[in-house]
Amino acid sequence: MAKMKAIEAVAKILELEGVTKAFGVPGAAINPFYAALRGLGSIEHVLARHVEGASHMAEGYTRANPGNIGLCIGTSGPAGTDMITGLYSAMADSIPILCITGQAPRARMHKEDFQAVDIEAIAKPVTKWAICVMEPAQLIGTFQQAFHIMRSGRPGPVLIDMPFDVQMAEIEFDAEAYVPMIPYKPAATRIQIEKALTMLNESEKPLLVSGGGVINANADKQLTEFAELVNVPVIPTLMGWGTIADDHELMAGMCGLQTSHRYGNANMLASDFVLGIGNRFANRHTGSVEVYTKGRKFVHVDIEPTQIGRVFCPDLGIVSCAGAALDLFLEVAKEWKAAGKLKDRSAWVAECKERKSTMQRKTNFDNVPVKPQRVYQEMNKVFGRDTTYVSTIGLSQIAAAQFLHVYSARNWINCGQAGPLGWTIPAALGVVAADKSRNVVAISGDYDFQFMIEELAVGAQFKLPYIHVLVNNSYLGLIRQAQRGFDMDFCVQLSFENINSPELGEYGVDHVKVVEGLGCKAIRVYKPEEIAPALEQAKKLMAEFSVPVVVEVILERVTNVSMGVEIDAVNEFEELAEKGVDAPTATISLLD
């Protein structure tokens, strides 16, 4: 057995568990760990400007590719509390990240020592596991268990807090004998799958609802193959967007109150059966349970037993990893097809396709200042099928989901349930850090962009290039729209006359100057016809300088984006598409 510092064993375990990248901020209480990382030499470190930013970078890194687990590092006290938003975001969306914090020496933890806080207690509600390790020899098993917990069942984050003297103690550790634990993944049984397929087969107008669990299981290809085999249209959730390509004939649109398509809601309302796989039936997808469930039966497949029945009681619940369930669905469906047992769905598929081709929203506006719909139309023209979009919350994200196109799993990376402002920049940097060859495009409104704008310096320093489309109406747009119900427009305006940039008029912050001051490139446009050339120029600048490039589009101050309180009562505030030219980048159109 080899004797070494406990923290050196920790660094080696991270390497053995497959960690190659870390995001963090050093500090006194975590310096032993940084020394161990430096000595190991195999884990690259990205220095964030804010520890919350590091936690979102870790999350973006995890989401970028199957099997990734992002690592976030910080010192004691405020570093841990800064991580809480990132942990909450990861927990809410079932994303495994590992957060590591330093801590005061054990003898001083109860003495109100400088930057000593009970981060274990603070983090427990937003993690799968949070622990402060009080015995040096327990670090090995703790980290082994951490990876097992993150990967088992419903994925999620873990926080490990390490007192300074625990890190520095000497222990015995044999790296050659270390073996990662095999994660636990529940799997559906054949009888469950046969019952679910029987219900699907007995229905007239079935749909598949594909959630983020399908992406977590790396099972998007099985999902599409199964849909094709049974010839049933698919409604992806926002977190499952990309599990079937937007231009696939079985892609029936997204359903929901905000990030939805008109045809997606219409297809859901016309259905009589839903097979949900790896989804939560979140309220912004369903609206009220009464409207969403009326007249249809449900089968719910989820990896987490307590998710089944959480929102409403399905007719059949199956506890299973989405990948394992889809493998078995494919096996049984192939047998049934060979035996001639699968029902012909061509009429129902044609009905859904007809809605998709005619129920489009208009994007082709020529207004100045620019309407947001036009921004996404131009993005569809300029960016290819392999583009990875990153976004978090706000009218910018809602409109992006309504108008952009996604063709592959992990090409829409969105913070779903938590939706913290500021998530987009660091998450996009984390995605690029996972794969610098990837074409990454982030989408933000001006407030999301301002929340963690300092992290752009990380992209400049570490050469993490991506394009950031900033739609600027100098408003908290989503909150302003929500305030309409209270007959007010209060404390949501970001506009002011910038004494240093009078050319901006009332649009306030000069994002171009700030971005350039952080070492990146920026372009500002005012007219619709300027958008596509600016995006093309951004590609060239990104390739030349290997830094983030921001394209700011000055929008009209007030725009109300389509949304409602029920999936059968979505308000359409703008003109709808009547001809193909009204929505020229729609994936399908029979309007002409």
Annotated catalytic residue within 10, 19, 51, 431? 51
- Note if 479 is an active site residue: yes
Q: CA 456, CA 432: separation in Å to the nearest integer? A: 12
- CB count in 10 Å sphere of residue 511: 22
Q: CA 416, CA 91: separation in Å to the nearest integer? A: 11
- CB count in 10 Å sphere of residue 533: 13
Annotated catalytic residue within 133, 421, 441, 456? 421
91-114 residues labelled b (16+ CB within 10 A) or e (exposed): bbbbbbbbbbbbbbbeeebeeebe
Distance (Å) of CA 248 to CA 239, 251, 256, 260, 578: 18, 5, 20, 17, 23
Annotated catalytic residue within 43, 229, 479, 492? 479
Chain CA centroid to CA 186, Å: 24
Long-range contacts of 498-503 (CB under 8 A, 24+ apart): none
Q: Which two tokens stand for residue 319?
A: 């506890």
Q: CA 327, CA 266: separation in Å to the nearest integer? A: 30
Burial of 377 (0-12, 13-18, 19+ CB in 10 A): buried
Q: What backbone phi and psi angles, to 5 degrees, belong to 284? A: -80, -10
- Note if 476 is an active site residue: yes
Three-class SS state of 104: coil
436-473 residues labelled b (16+ CB within 10 A) or e (exposed): eebbbbbbbbbbbbbbbbbbbbbbbebebbbbbbbbbb
Annotated catalytic residue within 13, 19, 25, 257? 25
Instruction: Mention every residue, 6+ apart, whose C-beta is less than 8 A from residue 346.
Output: 231
- Note if 51 is an active site residue: yes
Helices (H) and strands (E) in the chain, counts: 23, 21
Q: CA 473, CA 490: separation in Å to the nearest integer? A: 16
3-state SS of 328-393 is HHHHHHHHHHHCCCCCCCHHHHHHHHHHHHHCCECCCCCCCCECHHHHHHHHHHHCCCCCEEEECC
DSSP 412: E
Q: CA 144, CA 10: separation in Å to the nearest integer? A: 10
Q: What backbone phi and psi angles, to 5 degrees, belong to 421? A: -60, 145
Q: CA 504, CA 531: separation in Å to the nearest integer? A: 18
Annotated catalytic residue within 95, 476, 531, 555? 476
Q: CA 557, CA 487: separation in Å to the nearest integer? A: 18
> Which residues belong to the active site?
25, 51, 421, 476, 479
